[in-house]
């Protein structure tokens, strides 16, 4: 049982889902986008919706391209300040995942005004502001509505040199895959909701989800780094599949090399998994090949929705030491090589 002091207002009690686990299931989202009508695409639009990338990129001139992204969700934790921090970190991550530098944000705020005290709403916004300050950007405006469930997030703008944009579709056969943060946020959040997460587990969860993916900017400058994305609501398998489909390659993961947050393997084995994990598998499991030795618990970890998850890097083997050294310098001590890209059909194979 958790030993944390329960807040007077339990934010998670207002929402049907939390964090990136709120995402529409990948299979349903694919059907929605498939049925949407086409529209003219200007030549300046370098990255749109075609490969399910992390953000849109629009070329402004020969030296600058604008990155635009948005992300918002319902509470994943009950502490309002932590909720704001997590949501802001998650939204800004998409700019880093394109290899860019964030320049400003707009706040998206939907709150049940008659049910949440003003000071609680204020702490959510203050939490987001603290992360934007850490990223060196202002919140320059935004929009608020009276909502049935608490919703908070950001629109984030960034800049990148057009030649240094890191798409999720440019991996090459022979590339090594590096993951910047450990998995297990969804597992910890499921345990938190059932009062089964201790203080150490909660702190590990907050530390992981409020750590800005700043190495993305330096990765854009590295020759040999071909593709970049971040792992969020669709889990490691889902976001790696997007990378594989975009590059028309296969990906191979080594389960034993994938970093995990403390206690998540044991908690997953005890049944503390989110509903999003099962929806994720239903949406893309047909394109995943699991070795016979992969357990149901490991499968749950691979599909676990990550709120504000780590960067996933596809790079030449020769620059692996440089990429790992960068992560280490920036405080990402769990960063590890977890697999590789191979010639073959667009799918993911998982070995023990």
315 is catalytic: no
Q: Of 20, 22, 132, 315, which one is the catalytic site residue?
A: 20
**153, β-bridge pairs:** 72, 108
Give catalytic residues, as residue numbers.
20
């Amino acid at each position: 049982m958790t030993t944390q002091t329960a807040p007077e207002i339990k934010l998670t009690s207002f929402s049907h889902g939390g964090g990136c686990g709120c995402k529409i299931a990948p299979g349903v989202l694919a059907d929605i986008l498939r049925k949407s009508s086409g529209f003219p695409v200007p030549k300046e639009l370098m990255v749109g919706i075609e490969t399910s990338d992390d953000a849109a990129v629009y070329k402004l001139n020969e030296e600058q391209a604008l990155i635009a992204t948005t992300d918002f969700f319902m509470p994943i934790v009950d502490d309002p300040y932590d909720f704001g921090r997590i949501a802001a970190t998650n939204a800004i991550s998409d700019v880093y995942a394109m290899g860019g530098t964030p320049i400003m944000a707009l706040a998206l705020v939907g709150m049940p005004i008659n049910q949440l005290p003003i000071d609680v709403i204020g702490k959510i916004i203050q939490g987001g502001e603290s992360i934007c300050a850490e990223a060196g950007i202002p919140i320059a405006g935004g929009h608020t509505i009276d909502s049935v469930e608490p919703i908070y997030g950001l629109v984030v703008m960034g800049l990148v040199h057009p030649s240094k944009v890191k798409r999720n579709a440019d991996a090459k056969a022979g590339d090594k895959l590096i993951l910047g943060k450990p998995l297990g946020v969804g597992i910890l959040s499921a345990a938190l909701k059932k009062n089964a997460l201790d203080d150490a587990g909660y702190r590990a969860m907050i530390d992981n989800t409020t750590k800005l993916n700043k190495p993305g900017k330096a990765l854009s400058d590295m020759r040999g780094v071909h593709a970049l994305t971040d792992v969020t609501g669709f889990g490691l398998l889902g976001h790696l599949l997007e990378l594989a489909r975009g590059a028309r390659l296969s990906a191979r993961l080594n389960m034993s090399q994938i970093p995990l947050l403390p206690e998540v393997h044991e908690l997953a084995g005890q049944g503390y998994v989110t509903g999003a994990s099962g929806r994720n598998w239903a949406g893309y499991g047909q394109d995943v090949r699991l070795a016979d030795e992969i357990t149901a618990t490991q499968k749950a970890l691979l599909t676990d929705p990550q709120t504000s998850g780590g960067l996933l890097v596809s790079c030449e083997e020769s620059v692996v030491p440089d990429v790992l050294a960068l992560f280490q310098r920036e405080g990402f001590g769990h960063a590890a090589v977890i697999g590789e890209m191979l010639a073959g059909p667009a799918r993911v194979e998982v070995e023990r």
